[in-house]
Every structure is written in C-alpha cells, then in structure tokens.
C-alpha cells in the first residue's frame, strides 16, 4: 500500500471508531510526516502558525457576546420584536423562530449557539401552543444553521483565513444567500403549521403594543446594526467589531436591561471557553492540509473529477454531494480547513470565484448541522424539546431542501454571493 493509502486508511479507521476528530487528524498528520521522513517540528510550527492569526480572536469574542445576550435577556427581546414583525396568526410562532434565529445569527456567528439561544425560548412556547415537538425542534435547528452564513460567521472567518480571502467581503457575500434561505424556511414553516392547524390565532394586532415592543427592544436591535454597520462602513475590522459587541452586550445587559450578573458573566466565559475549544482543530488540520501538497492531492482530485466532467455546474454538484456526505460525521470547522485547500484550486481553475465557493462551502456545512449522527443543531434542539435525535432528524428533512435549493441557486446564479461584494469593494 502507498504512503497516502496508509494515511487515508488510518484516518478513516480512527474516525469510524470514534476518536475525536482533532486527535484523528493529528495522528494521521504525524503518521504522514513520519512516512515521508520530515522533521516532527513541522507539526508544531504549522500548529503555531495556524493559531497565530489575529482574526481568529473574532470567533471566541462573538461567541462570548452571543452568550451574554442570551443570559441577559437581549435575545428574549429580539424574540418579542420578531413576534410583532410576523404578527399573530396560525403558524406564526414557527416563523418567529426563523426570524429570531436570523437576528441572533447576526450576533453570535455560530449555528449551535443560535439554536441554543433561540430554541430555549421558542421551542417550549411552540409546544405550549400545540405544535408538534418534532416540528418545533426541527424549525429551530434548521433556522439556527443560518448562524454560519448570516454575517458575522465563524466558518466564514476560518474559510477566509485558510483561503486568504477578504473576511469583510465574505460577510457581505453571505447576506443574499442567508436571506434567501430565511425566506425558504419561513415558507416551509408557515405552510406546515397551517396544514396541521398548529398555533394560536386569538391575539389581535395592536399598533400600541407594536410600538411598545419595538421601543423595549431598541437596544437589542442596535447590536447587529452597530456590528454590521461598523464593519461595512469601514469604522472597524471584524475583530474589533467582535470586541465592540462584547462591550455593548455587557453595558446593555448589566445597566439597561439589568439581567446580567457576575455569575452570568463567569458562566458565559466558561461556555465560551468550551465552545472555542473547537479551534484546536485548526492546528492539526492545517498541518494535514499542507501535507496534501507533498502528496499532490489537489492535482489528484482535479484530474479525478475532470476525468468525469469539466462542466463547472457538475463539478460543483459533485463537490456539494461530497461535502454533505462528509458533514454527517465531521465537524464543520475541520471540513472547511481540510478540504478548502483541496477543492479551491480546482474550482478556481474552472473560473469559479473564491468568494462564491466560500459561501457554497458554508451552506453545505449548514446541512451537516442538520444530518445525524453528528448534527450539532439536531442534538441541541432535541435536548431542548426532550425528544430523540431520530425524531427531530425526520422533522428537519423538509427544511434541508431549503438549503439544497440555495446551493443549486448559488451554482446557477453565482451573483447571489458576488453581487454585493463587487458593489461595495469593487
């Protein structure tokens, strides 16, 4: 067996027997280094270089800001605003969940964090109104995945670092696809709820209540305006925006809404540390990614796929299928780091814009959030709804088609991703 065959076999075996992905990649990388007789210091050097970029600090800062907003009541006020935006009619609570996840996604940058923050509020509310627990969990898990494409997005930050692509341009590129997916999810949620007669319809709309809720939620709504407006307006970088988001959350949560205590702050720091531990994946996966150059993996992939077809549409479809399959058992962060270096040279040679490919990659990762056995969003939503992951997985199937539809639209109309960056960054 060739060296690359040994490495791939080891990687597959370690993954299948349940060894954590960061350890699996690290062991496979060390094995590859030993087989081609390179110094093991390469692994530590690449690991340090991978974790050294300053923009990586953006990820834990946005996670911390999102957690502060959840425990201080800011996210609850966003849900109240979403309720008055949608209105009160049958099926409206499912749509509130989608809009609430969209708003919170613009704060946390994380799909699982968005699912946990919004789901803890809307899933019990939907169950109380007679919604099926399966549907309640599925709609929140599906909408929570928007946290990975609606800016700011942790996965887009990592993709930008790996591919040397502008992070602000990637953020801008995620707006139209993110809004498109949100609309698809809203339609599915509305018609499913209407078909099954879920939700209350007795509450009437009142302008007085409408303005009252908007006024109470003005500080919560100010957060995404400050973050995204500051980034796109050139006032501060994404990393600085994350720091501003933390400061804003502390001030609003502690002194305006008064829902933030020292205990909540320390709990939020603990939560951030646990979630940010996933960044350890970057070090071994970057090392593994660099080793693919020694084995000419990008050229091998290019020749293998182009021997089947050199049609850009079909190539993107094949890559999408691969990403969706691999996303069922691999962390999205590792998926982005490992395979961007493999597929990006191929799609670039076919004239596909790296910005568009970044959005495409992240949308496929969102589908991974919704497919078992890994399915981070499914696990979180299932725990909140107190149902099995198999049950919520079945409920998520209609919503997965919304993401697949967006993937196809991205391939057919790449301008969905490139239109806004070309306008604002020329």
pLDDT tens figures, 200-224:
655 566 677 778 888 888 888 887 7
- Stretch 165-191: mean pLDDT: 93
- How confident is the model at residue 137, as a pLDDT? 93
What was the pLDDT predicted at 1? Answer: 61
In contact, 25 and 281? CB cutoff 8 Å? yes
Per-residue model confidence (pLDDT) at position 26: 81
Determine which of 96-105, 328-337, 352-361 has the lowest per-residue pLDDT on average. 328-337
Split at pLDDT 50, 70, 90, the class of 54 is confident
pLDDT for 203: 56
In this prediction, residues 111-125 reach a mean pLDDT of: 83
Statement: residue 179 has pLDDT above 90: yes
Torsion angles phi and psi, residue 354, rounded to 5: -60, -30
Mean pLDDT of 131-155: 89
Predicted confidence at residue 358, as pLDDT, reads 95
Confidence at 183, pLDDT banded by 50, 70, 90: very high
Take residue 369 and report the two structure tokens written for it.
């959030």
Q: Please give the sequence-ordered ranges of beta strands (E in DSSP) within 77-148, or none if there are none.
A: none
Q: Which of 359, 368, 345 is nearest to 414 (CA)?
A: 359
Residue 408 reports pLDDT greater than 90: yes
How far apart (Å, rounded) are the C-alpha atoms in residues 167 and 123?
A: 33
pLDDT in tens, 345-399: 889 988 999 999 999 999 998 888 788 776 778 888 888 888 888 899 899 999 9
Q: d(Cα 161, Cα 17) in Å, to the nearest integer?
A: 31
Distances in Å between the Cα of 26 and the Cα atoms of 57, 76, 128 are 22, 41, 47
Residue 195: other Cβ atoms inside 10 A: 9
12-25 pLDDT tens trace: 788 778 777 778 87
Average pLDDT, the chain: 84
3-state helix, strand, coil in the chain (%, to 5): 80, 0, 20
Q: What is the mean pLDDT of residues 64-87?
A: 80
């Amino acid at each position: 067996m060739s060296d690359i065959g040994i490495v791939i076999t080891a990687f597959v075996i370690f993954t299948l027997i349940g060894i954590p992905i960061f350890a699996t990649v690290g062991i496979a990388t060390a094995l590859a280094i030993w087989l081609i007789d390179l110094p093991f210091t390469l692994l530590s050097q690449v690991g340090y270089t991978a974790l050294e970029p300053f923009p990586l600090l953006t990820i834990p800062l946005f996670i911390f800001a999102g957690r502060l907003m959840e425990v201080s009541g800011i996210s609850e006020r966003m849900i109240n605003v979403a309720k008055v935006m949608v209105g009160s009619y049958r099926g409206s609570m499912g749509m509130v969940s989608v809009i609430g996840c969209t708003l919170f996604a613009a704060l946390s940058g994380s799909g699982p964090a968005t699912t946990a923050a919004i789901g803890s509020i809307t899933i019990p509310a939907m169950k109380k109104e007679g919604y099926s627990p399966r549907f309640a969990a599925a709609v929140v898990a599906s909408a929570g995945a928007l946290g990975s494409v609606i800016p700011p997005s942790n996965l887009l930050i990592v993709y930008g670092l790996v591919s040397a692509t502008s992070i602000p341009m990637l953020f801008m590129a995620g707006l139209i696809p993110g809004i498109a997916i949100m609309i698809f999810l809203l339609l599915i949620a509305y018609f499913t709820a209407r078909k099954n007669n879920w939700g209350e319809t007795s509450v009437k709309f009142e302008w007085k209540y409408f303005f009252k809720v908007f006024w109470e939620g003005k500080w919560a709504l100010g957060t995404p305006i400050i973050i995204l407006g500051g980034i796109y307006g050139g006032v501060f970088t994404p990393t600085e925006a994350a720091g501003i988001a933390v400061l804003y959350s502390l001030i609003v949560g502690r002194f305006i809404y008064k829902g933030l205590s020292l205990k909540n702050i320390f709990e939020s720091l603990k939560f951030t540390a646990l979630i940010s531990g996933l960044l350890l994946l970057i070090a071994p996966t970057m090392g593994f990614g660099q080793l693919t150059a020694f084995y000419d993996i990008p050229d091998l992939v290019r020749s293998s796929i182009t021997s089947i077809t050199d049609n850009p549409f079909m190539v993107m479809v094949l890559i999408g299928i691969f990403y969706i399959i691999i996303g069922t058992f691999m962390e999205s962060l590792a998926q982005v780091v490992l395979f961007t270096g493999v597929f990006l040279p191929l799609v670039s040679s076919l004239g596909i814009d790296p910005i568009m490919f970044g959005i495409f990659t992240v949308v496929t990762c969102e589908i991974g959030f919704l497919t078992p056995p890994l399915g981070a969003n499914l696990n979180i939503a299932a725990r909140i709804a107190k149902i099995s992951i198999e049950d919520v997985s079945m409920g998520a199937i209609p919503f997965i088609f919304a993401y697949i539809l967006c993937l196809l639209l991205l391939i057919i109309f790449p301008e969905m991703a490139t239109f806004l960056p070309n306008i604002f960054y020329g």
